């Protein structure tokens, strides 16, 4: 359904006075089969949106080729656009029209009848928990409601291939859960293929058949969440030591059973094979040497641990530390597929 080879996107940006070239996407190959739900993960600035914008024809690849739904993203961009639904990270640009009218117009742009668009629109408003908002203008909606309206727009023409760029950012837990259910239904009932980016690791975990991790413009892993986690051995043990002066002693104790060790403030963390067996002995040892713990946590590997193992950085730290140059505008085409033609 999606096949890309050697996709590259470079942007010219300024850093202070100097002009630099950012290789936002640096040689991406990817294959997504029909009916797959793929979660595209990576820290801020990794190249997720840029990849999506190339696949949805909004940005012409600097190098490389891609076909989406059987069409070439450069030579057959109109066919690609007709075959997909896309919800951009930024959301759509709204007119002052009422939400329902805008949704219906949007559907009609994709060639479905007014009657169909109205029916389907009402159904989506219901499913995404926007009842009663059909006649409101987006200006009168909350951020989360607008985000859900973006999603309605992306799905109005019943696409069987959907690109969602952080669809749940800004949604409350209830709305997120609704959307998850909707995405699961899309696949189950319609065999839809879904390619989504998210910062919520639990979300990627629950929804995706396969996880792709991108870092600094390159795909560094692509497998099921289970397989990715299985490649990491051991559980994460996190000790919070009450008395700061005993942190070093606690670290030494943990080190005797752990494969890796990290100290941060009052916390001592390590990856411990078969923690269930090893931890009781550790606790006895700490007790014997008079080290008091504020807390102890043991957890199975997560996708964040996968990222940490692959890159030496935590996905969360990578995000906190992410920085980017001041972009010069290199926009080539408008941001919404279909909406403004």
Ligand X SMILES: Nc1ncnc2c1ncn2[C@@H]1O[C@H](COP(=O)(O)OP(=O)(O)OP(=O)(O)O)[C@@H](O)[C@H]1O
- Tell me 243's DSSP state: S
Which position among 1, 2, 4, 11 is part of the footprint of ligand X (CB under 6 A)? 11
Q: Which of residues 71-100 bind ligand X (CB under 6 A)?
A: 89
Q: 322 φ, ψ to 5°?
A: -65, 140
Radius of gyration of the chain (CA): 23
Residue with smaller CB distance to Mg ion, 2 or 268:
2
Q: Which does 86 bind (CB under 5 to 8 A by kind): Mg ion, ligand X, none?
A: none
Q: Does 47 bind ligand X (CB under 6 A)?
A: yes
Name which of 38, 66, 33 is nearest 51 in CA terms. Answer: 66
Q: Return the exposure string of 99-135: e unless at least 16 CB atoms fall within 10 Å of the residue's CB, then b.
A: bbebbbbbbbbbebeeebbbebbbebbebbbbeebbe
> Exactly one of 7, 25, 46, 49 binds Mg ion (CB under 5 A); which one?
49
Q: How far apart are the first and last CA of the chain?
A: 25
Question: Residue 53 Cβ, how far from ligand X at the closest point, in Å?
Answer: 8
Pure H helices in 197-294: 201-207, 225-230, 247-255, 275-288
Site string for ligand X, 300-339 (x = CB under 6 A): ------------------------x--x--x---------
Please identify, using beta-carbon distances, which residue of 48 and 246 lies nearer to ligand X: 48
Q: Quote the least distance from Cβ 303 to ligand X, whole Å.
A: 15
For ligand X, the binding residues in 234-293 under the rule CB under 6 A are none
Among 4, 32, 38, 48, binds ligand X (CB under 6 A): 48
CB under 8 Å to 16, separation ≥6 — which residues? none
Interaction partner, residue 116 (Mg ion, ligand X, none; CB < 5-8 Å by kind): none
Confirm if 166 and 90 have CB atoms less than 8 A apart: no
Residues lying near ligand X in the complex (CB under 6 A) are found at: 11, 13, 22, 24, 42, 44-50, 89, 324, 327, 330
Residues lying near Mg ion in the complex (CB under 5 A) are found at: 48-49, 89
């Amino acid at each position: 359904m999606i096949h890309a080879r050697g996709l590259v996107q470079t942007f010219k940006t300024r850093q202070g006075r100097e002009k630099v070239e950012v290789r936002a996407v640096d040689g991406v190959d990817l294959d997504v089969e029909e009916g797959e739900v793929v979660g595209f993960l990576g820290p801020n600035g990794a190249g997720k949106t840029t990849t999506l914008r190339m696949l949805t024809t909004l940005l012409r690849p600097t190098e490389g080729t891609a076909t989406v739904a059987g069409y070439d993203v450069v030579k057959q961009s109109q066919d690609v656009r007709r075959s997909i639904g896309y919800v951009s990270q930024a959301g759509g640009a709204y007119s002052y029209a009422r939400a329902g009218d805008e949704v219906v117009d949007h559907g009609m742009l994709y060639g479905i009848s007014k009657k169909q668009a109205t029916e389907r629109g009402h159904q989506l408003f219901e499913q995404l928990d926007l009842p009663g908002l059909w006649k409101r203008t987006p200006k009168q909606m909350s951020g989360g409601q607008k985000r859900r309206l973006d999603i309605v727009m992306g799905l109005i023409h019943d696409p069987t291939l959907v690109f969602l760029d952080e669809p749940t950012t800004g949604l409350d837990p209830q709305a997120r859960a609704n959307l998850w259910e909707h995405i699961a239904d899309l696949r189950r009932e319609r065999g839809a293929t879904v390619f989504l980016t998210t910062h919520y690791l639990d979300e990627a975990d629950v929804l995706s058949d396969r996880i792709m991790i991108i870092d600094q413009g390159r795909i560094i892993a692509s497998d099921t969440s289970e397989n990715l986690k299985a490649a990491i051995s051991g559980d994460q043990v996190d000790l919070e030591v009450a008395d700061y002066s005993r942190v070093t002693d606690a670290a030494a104790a943990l080190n005797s059973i752990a494969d890796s060790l990290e100290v941060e403030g009052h916390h001592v963390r390590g990856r411990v094979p078969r923690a269930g067996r090893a931890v009781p002995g550790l606790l006895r040892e700490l007790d014997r040497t008079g080290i008091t713990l504020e807390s102890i946590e043991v957890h199975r590997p997560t996708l964040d641990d996968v990222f940490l193992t692959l890159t030496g950085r935590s996905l969360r730290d990578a995000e906190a530390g992410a920085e980017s140059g001041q972009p010069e505008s290199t926009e080539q085409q408008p941001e919404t597929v279909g909406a403004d033609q």
